[in-house]
Structure 1
Amino acid sequence: MAMSEPIPSPEARPDVERLRGYSAPLEGRRGLLRLDFNENTIGPSPAVTEAIRSFPADQIAVYPEYDGLREAVIANLQSSPAGLAQPLSVEQVGLFNGVDAAIHAVIHAYGASGDTLLTTSPTFGYYAPCAGMQGMAIEAVPHDMPGFRFPLEAMRTSLQRGPKILMLCNPNNPTGTRLSAENVLQLATSAPDTLVVVDELYEAFTGDSVLPHVDFAVHTNLLVLRSLAKTAGLAGLRMGFAIGSAGVVDRVSRVTGPYDVNSLAVTAAFAALSDQPYTDDYVAEVLRARDYLVTVLTRSGAVFHCDGGNYLLLWPRSPAQQVEQQLRDAGILVRSMAGKPQIDGSLRVSIGTLAQMQTFWESYRQLDG
């Protein structure tokens, strides 16, 4: 019997065919010191572990329920030292399968072919493919140099052209660039027809959140993204939130599945939110470790940049990708920023505990000291 010719697969939408997807080398990381993806490096609260261990087996067969989780998020935000500018209702909190899913939903809900997504450059790499799959144009404004300062005047000029969405990573990954809440609100006020999305995944390491200052009844075009990945240690379970006016949260939630957030993530989120002291202690340890690493790098004459977030940029004397591989061989993962504008040739190094950063420094200085 003659072999049939293979049937060509159908083409996707042109926007998807042209798309270069976001990729992250996440395999082969177990058992290594993970300083490459800005994760919590010690794991979640024991309360989270116990909650997962106690999860009833029969509930795995049941669709997840979210009763009380939005209220727990609001209570957690309200009890923080800075608090909230205005009380939040449960309709103002959206639940997502990680902030990546929230970003995708925001752009899916508000971005259309021919619209513009405005952001900075370099920034988190997932914004661009999400915008691209919607056929959006992407305008990325370079940071002001030296020092990777936020390009405030250039951003104001770009906003006058009426982009559909402004994505602000604050503090910015990977440069650590910070923008004050006052300036965030000024940008949102100046562009009422633009949805201003503030990605605050690393806010805990700087305290720059806009939430203690924003009244969503006034700034209805502002949406804040938060996560339990970087601080509370739930990156593997995917738990993200979107906080804003009820109308915006509703529209963004419409384009997600009804049960996108799984039951284990919900259980873990309740436990993590109930043990805020654990998260606070971890953040404080990261800040101590960051101070240590900045001190030893400065004394050594290394070229680096450190501002906000649980990470810094480091320019080794040897080629960055070579040093990245040598560190991996030594059991330490960092991430090369090869090809990224303004930071090509650098390594992004996540900050963990003091002991972990001492381990990193001992290996790094022998390789490139």
Structure 2
Amino acid sequence: MSQAARPLTNAGAPAARPAVETLTSYSAPLEGRRELLRLDFNENTIGPSPLVANALRRFSSEEIAVYPEYDGLREAVVRNLTETGCRAGLQADQVEVFNGVDAAIHAVFQAYGDGGDVLLTTSPTFGYYSPCARMQGMEIEAVPYEGEAFAFPLAAVQAALTRRPPRLLLICNPNNPTGTRLEPETILALAASAPQTLVVVDELYEAFTGDSVLPTADFAATPNLLVLRSLAKTAGLAGLRIGFAIGHADVVDRVSRVTGPYDVNSVAVAAAFAALADQSYVDAYVAEVKRAREWTLVALQEADVRHHCDGGNYLLIWPKQPVQHVEAELRAAGILVRSMAGKALIDGCYRVSIGTTTQMQRFMQAFLPLER
């Protein structure tokens, strides 16, 4: 149907593509969160490195007035990845920078997803994958996690790859929100078994578990593998939106083709350089989150609270009272958590991001009285 012949919406405006007309936009309740203890969106809870703050203070008027420049940023990402365990030999043309990993995910679907193609993923998982697939008119096969431990449904995923090879296989590792972890060797084997499928591994929370494929991935041997990383969860740049895609140069090139020329702004670029130069800050924050995670798990076990925690900087809690009531009471106490109401397999619980030990002690002091 030509654009002129498209039907009108109820308001009289031209209708969008059919895939968009049936789409519900992905949105998150982000307003009114400042000055509260943010345990709802898995962000860094203490802020970025002092080097980042210094870089932003030095940001000049001229830098604001000109278009962003990216010279050296991909090389800085490569250096950082190599220093933190990535397989040697990664080149700058195997990395692309995006306005957050959300933009990278969107670009992957624009570059590789088409009407009638299949997205294979798991359920429940990060909520933005499905809208991106639907934007492209793709079919979605979401395989549920297994049992009370939310084990990765490996046999079912292998069967789906054999039965009808999908265009995309998207694995969040560790998975948000279940924390399910998958060994890097298993992911590489899945990619090797399905050479016509682009296997995208969302590693936003990898730093808290150490399950990355990058130390062993050979993109020349497995060119259908793409890894997503971010500076939001560990380095504290969620508000500036910096994400990366790492893979075979040809795949990275195709994904880059569907992005705008200046999608990543100059302030974010300056912050990214500074954050990448202070890996010791990130390491210290991650170590503190791990300590806080262990403290919280002990406290929940001693209080006999039903919970689930595997990987990532978050856990799931099933409260005795309705989730909406607990969420409201915690917000009144200045603490934000995220309800999982309506999500497959985990309806009736809420997700709690893990901050510092002091922050988690504050959370437990507010939460435990609600269990009595």
When the two structures are superposed, what TM-score results if normalisation uses the length of structure 2?
A: 0.96
Q: Which amino acid aligns with 1:340?
A: K
- Mapped to 1, the partners of 2:88 and 2:146 lie a distance apart of 33
Equivalent residue, structure 1, for 2:87: 85
Equivalent residue, structure 1, for 2:46: 42
In structure 1, which of residues 13, 19, 36 is the aligned counterpart of residue 17 of structure 2?
13
| Contact preservation (8 Å) 1:86, 1:215 | no
- Mapped to 2, the partners of 1:276 and 1:366 lie a distance apart of 39
* 5+ residue gaps, structure 1: 1-5
- CA deviation map 1:227-255 (0-9, x unaligned): 00000000000000000000000000000
In structure 2, which of residues 351, 359, 362 is the aligned counterpart of residue 348 of structure 1?
351
3-state SS of 1:355 partner? helix
- CA deviation map 1:61-116 (0-9, x unaligned): 10000111111101011111xx2224111110011000000000000100001001
3-state SS of 2:316 partner? strand
* 5+ residue gaps, structure 2: 1-9
Aligned residues: 362
Structure 2 residue 304 is the aligned partner of structure 1 residue 297: no
User: Matched residues, percent identical?
Assistant: 68
Structure 2 residue 55 is the aligned partner of structure 1 residue 55: no
The structure 1 segments of at least 4 consecutive aligned residues displaced by more than 3 Å after TM superposition are none
Equivalent residue, structure 1, for 2:328: 325
Equivalent residue, structure 2, for 1:221: 224
In structure 2, which of residues 68, 72, 76 is the aligned counterpart of residue 72 of structure 1?
76
3-state SS of 2:134 partner? helix
3-state SS of 1:26 partner? coil
- Mapped to 2, the partners of 1:42 and 1:294 lie a distance apart of 21
- Mapped to 2, the partners of 1:86 and 1:52 lie a distance apart of 32
In structure 2, which of residues 23, 28, 35 is the aligned counterpart of residue 31 of structure 1?
35
| Contact preservation (8 Å) 2:73, 2:273 | yes
- Mapped to 2, the partners of 1:243 and 1:174 lie a distance apart of 23
- Mapped to 1, the partners of 2:21 and 2:255 lie a distance apart of 25
Q: Which amino acid aligns with 1:50?
A: N
Deviation at 1:58? 1.2
- CA deviation map 1:170-213 (0-9, x unaligned): 00000000000000001001100000000000000000000001
Equivalent residue, structure 2, for 1:157: 159
Alignment of 1:1-369 (within 5 A): 8-80=12-84, 83-160=85-162, 161-369=164-372
Q: Which amino acid aligns with 2:75?
A: E
Q: Which amino acid aligns with 1:333?
A: L
- Mapped to 1, the partners of 2:86 and 2:234 lie a distance apart of 20
Equivalent residue, structure 2, for 1:3: none
Q: 1:171 and 1:7, CA in 2 relative to 1: closer, same or farther beyond 3 A?
A: closer
Deviation at 1:59? 1.1
- Mapped to 2, the partners of 1:11 and 1:339 lie a distance apart of 29
- Mapped to 2, the partners of 1:166 and 1:92 lie a distance apart of 20
